[in-house]
Amino acid sequence: MLEAHMPTLQTLLDQRAGAWDKAQEFQNRAATEEKMSAEDRAAWDAALADVERLSVDIEREERHARLAAVDYSQVIDATKEADDERHGGEDRAAAYADAWRTWMRDGASELSSQERTALRTGWVDGKELRAQGVATGAAGGYLVPPAFRAKMVEAQKFFSSMRDVAEVITTETGATLPWPTNDDTANVGAILAENTQVTEQDVTLGQADIGAYTYTSKLVRVSLQLLNDSAFDMEDWLARKLGERIGRAQNAHFTTGTGTNQPEGVQTNAVVGKTGATGQTTSVTYDDLIDLIHSVDPAYRLGGRAAWMLHDTTLAAARKLKDGQNRPLWEPSVQVGVPDTLLGYRYSVNQDMPTMAANAKAILFGDFFAGYLIRDVQDVQLLRLAERYADYLQVGFLSFARTDGTPQDTAAYKAYRNAAT
């Protein structure tokens, strides 16, 4: 019996390209024939269904490839110096990580005296931390080691479209971080005549800042049977679950957050670059998308990072649009590493973007790396609650992560707003 093998990413891309070509043949035939046969129409529908199915498979394979390509050691190295300093040196940092894993799986009662001493270098109560910083809580939890933190961040990325496109920085503490801003686009140089004094033109600087909100994973309960099962990768599973939960909450705020007691989202106060005509409460046209593209200054549009951001249902509507030559605006990729495009620009599907409705800013376009900033604080705390659920033979885990996000250049992207009526 032959062993079945999963198709490679390139194979899936080739299969989708073939299905797309077949769908285009039927599309062209429909434009020239008065009436298509039921058999041809069924084949056309099947070809389009294949494109949809293969697109889902391709997206899954690409996400898997991105995760497999992550060099966790590089992520850890970015914070290794601070981690070593906190725990008193490289050897003590390694000892802390080992003790932390024992505490996470077996609890404090199974720790040796040396492990208890090591763990105190990461005990969050405002006094036991060796390095300076703002504690995330005072309930006796421990700071997670860099490897665990790196896995959490990767899990967050899968549930946070914003993290894929925004600028993300990491700081050691959560102190308010100010930075200067400047918009000098209205000022231009001039020709200087001979023997003429140079005209002065001041540069006006502003200031913005970003803080850090504490996000919690809420409680995750794990059975003692799983904790005691050496075959169960507790660290990987827990990092993934905590990261997924925090990632979902953060993405919603990074997208549509109000800015009051939560981050301000990229969409919330986005400048409108194009508004749909009367009647377009749930639709968008080819001309609308062209106008939205050109509402963004070429300095951002032509920098190589410009992209769309929209909900999946909005993408479905956009994929049905065609240009003046009846060619679809959506173009499937046929090469590994090259994304699908809409009007020549890649897109990010963000399920926290609003769907098209009256007055909804349902589509964003521009350079989101220049336009939006996400700030992470490297200190992530984990609490272990053993006695609370002892009668269920379960242990509870609770994580905290500190993050903020804010628009940093609102000229870098614009929004399409659906008509009010």
Residue written as token pair 């294949």: 50
In a domain, 211, yes or no: yes
Regarding whether 47 and 152 lie in a shared domain, the answer is no
pLDDT tens track for 193-219: 888 888 887 766 667 788 899 999 999
In terms of residue numbers, what domain contains 285? 137-179+204-421
**Range in 168-182, 220-234, 344-358, 393-407 the model is least confident about:** 168-182
Kindly give, in sequence order, each residue whose CB lies less than 8 Å from that of residue 178, ignoring residues fewer than 6 positions away: 207, 208, 209
Q: Rounded to the nearest 10 degrees, what angle do helices 146-158 and 234-256 cross at?
A: 50
In a domain, 217, yes or no: yes
Regarding whether 161 and 12 lie in a shared domain, the answer is no
Take residue 262 and report the two structure tokens written for it: 């939560």
What band does 72 get if pLDDT is binned at 50, 70 and 90?
A: very low
Regarding whether 156 and 55 lie in a shared domain, the answer is no
In a domain, 265, yes or no: yes
In a domain, 256, yes or no: yes
Regarding whether 172 and 45 lie in a shared domain, the answer is no
Instruction: With beta carbons less than 8 A apart as the criterion, state whether 259 and 332 touch.
Output: no
Regarding whether 357 and 256 lie in a shared domain, the answer is yes
In a domain, 375, yes or no: yes
So what's the pLDDT on residue 323? Answer: 80
Mean pLDDT of 283-305: 93
**Range in 207-211, 257-261, 275-279, 350-354 the model is least confident about:** 207-211
The domain that holds 271 is classified in CATH as 3.90.1690
User: CA-CA distance, 45 to 327, in Å (whole number)?
Assistant: 17
Regarding whether 173 and 49 lie in a shared domain, the answer is no
Higher-scoring residue by pLDDT: 90, 383: 383
**Range in 115-124, 285-294, 368-377 the model is least confident about:** 115-124
pLDDT tens track for 351-379: 999 999 999 999 999 999 999 999 998 87
Task: Give percent of the chain above pLDDT 70.
Answer: 84
Take residue 205 and report the two structure tokens written for it: 């600087």
Number of domains into which the chain is organized: 2
Regarding whether 246 and 380 lie in a shared domain, the answer is yes
Regarding whether 420 and 325 lie in a shared domain, the answer is yes
Higher-scoring residue by pLDDT: 73, 110: 110
Regarding whether 154 and 53 lie in a shared domain, the answer is no
Instruction: With beta carbons less than 8 A apart as the criterion, state whether 308 and 347 touch.
Output: yes
Torsion of CA 168, 172, 174, 177, to 10 degrees: -60
So what's the pLDDT on residue 35? Answer: 76
Higher-scoring residue by pLDDT: 9, 94: 94
So what's the pLDDT on residue 316? Answer: 92
What does pLDDT average to over the chain? Answer: 83
Q: Does pLDDT of 182 surpass 90?
A: no
In a domain, 351, yes or no: yes
Q: Does pLDDT of 3 surpass 70?
A: no
So what's the pLDDT on residue 418? Answer: 97
What band does 85 get if pLDDT is binned at 50, 70 and 90?
A: low
What band does 36 get if pLDDT is binned at 50, 70 and 90?
A: confident
* The most confident of 162-166, 178-182, 334-338, 387-391, by mean pLDDT: 162-166
Q: Does pLDDT of 142 surpass 70?
A: yes
Regarding whether 276 and 389 lie in a shared domain, the answer is yes
Mean pLDDT of 317-322: 90
Residue 354 exposed, middle or buried by CB count within 10 Å (0-12, 13-18, 19+): middle
In a domain, 393, yes or no: yes
The reported pTM is: 0.76
Regarding whether 261 and 154 lie in a shared domain, the answer is yes
Residue 329 identity: L
In a domain, 243, yes or no: yes
Regarding whether 163 and 18 lie in a shared domain, the answer is no
User: CA-CA distance, 266 to 408, in Å (whole number)?
Assistant: 9
3-state secondary structure of 27: helix
